[in-house]
Amino acid sequence: MFYEDLIPVLVTYPDPAAGWNNGVYTERKPVFREISWNDVDPSFTVKDSAITLSSLNWIETEVSGFGVYNYAEGLGFKKKTGLKDGKWTVTFKNASENEMKVSCFANNILKLNAFAVPACSEASTEFTLCSVEEETLLQFFVPSEAKVKEDTVPANLTITNISYEELPLKAPKKKPTVFLASDSTVQSYERFYYPQTGWGQVLYRFFNGGKDTPEIQSPDLCYPQNHIYETPMFNIENRSIGARSSRSFINEGKWDRLLALSAPGDYCFIQWGHNDATAVRPNRFVSTADFGFWLKKYIYSCRARKVNIVLVTPIARRNCDDHEGNFIASFGKYRDAMVAVAEEENVPYIDLCNLTVEYLNSIGSEESKLIYLWAAPGAYPEGAYADGVHDNTHLQEYGATMFAKLVAQAILDSDRPELAPLKPAITTDFKIAKPAPVANPEPADSTKPSGFALQELHIADGVANFLLIWNDVEGAVSYTVYRKGSVDFQFFPLKTVSAEEKKTSPVLPFTIPASDVYQVYVAAKFADGSEGAHSRIIEFRA
């Protein structure tokens, strides 16, 4: 029987989510129960070598709207695969008179998304999983519209075959790839967002003698932010994407896609910590105690595929205004945890956290504005920051280039043998032009938020997720973001943000239903209840 080498596992979520406690959200926890194919259980039946299973599916969203959890209950199939690349082939039978949709989680990664099985027929599909676990758990289910478990309705699906083929280790490439996996401080940006630049967007210059090279979007089209930069000895592939953490990059399948493109002899530089520390975004938050658990998934999965991994501690923020003009490590506990894991696992690391702090303290507060995303109104009139910006987290091109130089120089200075093949490709002695000093972007109306801009619009499953940034308004106690859809006659409040929350998280996440054209603006509110002049209006299609 096709299923004899698979272990049946019942997956349930009997208890509700623990919810918010001390600023951290805890989702539902699964319960796994291994059973025998000979057991009598209402969750499945076996007849004529076909398995008919009953599934429940619902998508819960916690109260803030930023934590979204897709839960599936029912029979799962477990197999010991090791940390290998494998191809799964599955055949479904649909005896009903209506088309059926089937989805599949493989180790919590959505590998099938509403695969269509025509009425009164069988249909086969296949997918590759680059496992980061010793065992692989497949969960097949019929997706539903339910938002709470109480609204779920059991749905049956029939599987007539599941086969697994372990894929051989790939041959090394003629020209190795240096992959970058990180967040918005490393990401490549489209021209509209200039001068915003991630250090991964310009790292290629140090592999190309300071010269430019065309940006090529990765052919797998996983998401538009991943770009390839061809240099004489290595290809630099920047698969970094904003608003992700060590946890969400894996759970969303982005690490799986990167591993699928990797080969022995490639390199992967990973920098996490910025978004791991953001407890207000439950899907991506990772405590410092759990940080090492997620980092080891990257380390072990690279080792299994003979890919050289390099850990990079998170860059510093421009926090000198809060520390008497001195810069300090913004994510020091995450830096310490990463260094501890690197030393424990004996993998190379670049302490970019301390390197950027030292560099920023050497240039001082005012010049650091040339590093971060600071611009006066009108400096970039055709782009996202036409209204000016002062962002103390993200980088502009000059700063990204200087931070990329720190990475390149750290490789040259390293005595790790794994990094030796990179050194002949690297040059750091070319001139980097310094831009003119940044004018302070103060609005003409002191009550009007300046620097209002939209970042990192991402659309999935009918929901648009995006980030908004604006400059603080003196005396404001809160800010209200307003939105207007294409059929609305007026603006409506989307969300109110306290001044304290704005200061803590200068770049703020928002969600809105997709499939419309929206306009948004922000206005400051003051202690007397009055509202100041609103920012510029941004229009976007979601």
What pLDDT is recorded for position 442? 55
CA–CA distance from 318 to each of 237, 292, 325 (Å)? 27, 26, 10
Distance CA 71, CA 11 (A): 10
- Residue 535: pLDDT over 60: yes
Q: What are phi and psi of 153, to 5 degrees?
A: -125, 125
Q: Tens digits of per-residue pLDDT, 258-306? A: 999 999 999 999 999 999 998 888 999 999 999 999 999 999 999 999 9
* DSSP three-state, residue 466: strand
Q: Tens digits of per-residue pLDDT, 219-246? A: 887 888 899 999 999 999 999 998 899 9
Q: Which residue has the tokens 């649909």?
A: 94
- Residue 444 pLDDT grade (very low, low, confident, very high; cuts 50, 70, 90): low
Distance CA 454, CA 464 (A): 12
Q: What are phi and psi of 478, to 5 degrees?
A: -165, 170
What pLDDT is recorded for position 512? 87
DSSP-H helix ranges across 155-307: 199-202, 246-251, 254-261, 288-304
What pLDDT is recorded for position 443? 53
CB of 202 closer than 8 Å to CB of 404: yes
Average pLDDT over residues 91-100: 96
What pLDDT is recorded for position 465? 81
- Residue 187 pLDDT grade (very low, low, confident, very high; cuts 50, 70, 90): very high
Domains of the chain: 7-166 (2.60.120), 177-425 (3.40.50.1110), 453-541 (2.60.40.10)
Strands 267-271 and 308-312: parallel
- Residue 477 C-beta-side C-alpha neighbours within 13 Å: 7
What pLDDT is recorded for position 432? 95
Closest CA to 2 of 91, 121, 74: 91
Evaluate the CA torsion angle 39, 40, 42, 44 in order and state its sign: positive
Distance CA 266, CA 150 (A): 48
Q: Which residue has the tokens 């913004």?
A: 330
What pLDDT is recorded for position 40? 77
Q: Tens digits of per-residue pLDDT, 394-424? A: 999 999 999 999 999 999 999 999 999 999 9
Q: What are phi and psi of 15, to 5 degrees?
A: -110, 145
Instruction: Provide, rounded to the nearest whole percent, the portion of the chain with pLDDT above 90.
Output: 74
- Which parts of 13-169 are beta strand (E)? 19-21, 24-26, 31-34, 44-47, 50-61, 68-80, 85-94, 100-106, 109-117, 121-130, 135-141, 155-166
* DSSP three-state, residue 292: helix
- Residue 391 pLDDT grade (very low, low, confident, very high; cuts 50, 70, 90): confident
- Residue 441 pLDDT grade (very low, low, confident, very high; cuts 50, 70, 90): low
Closest CA to 225 of 259, 262, 185, 169: 185
CB of 85 closer than 8 Å to CB of 55: no
| 465-488 exposure pattern, b = at least 16 Cβ within 10 A, e = fewer | bbbbbbbbbeebebbbbbbbeeee
What pLDDT is recorded for position 224? 84
pTM beyond 0.75: the answer is yes
The first and second tokens of residue 1, run together, are 């029987």
Q: Tens digits of per-residue pLDDT, 32-81? A: 999 998 887 888 999 888 999 999 999 998 887 778 999 999 999 999 99
Average pLDDT over residues 510-516: 85
DSSP 337: H
Strands 267-271 and 177-181: parallel
In the chain, the amino acid numbered 276 is D
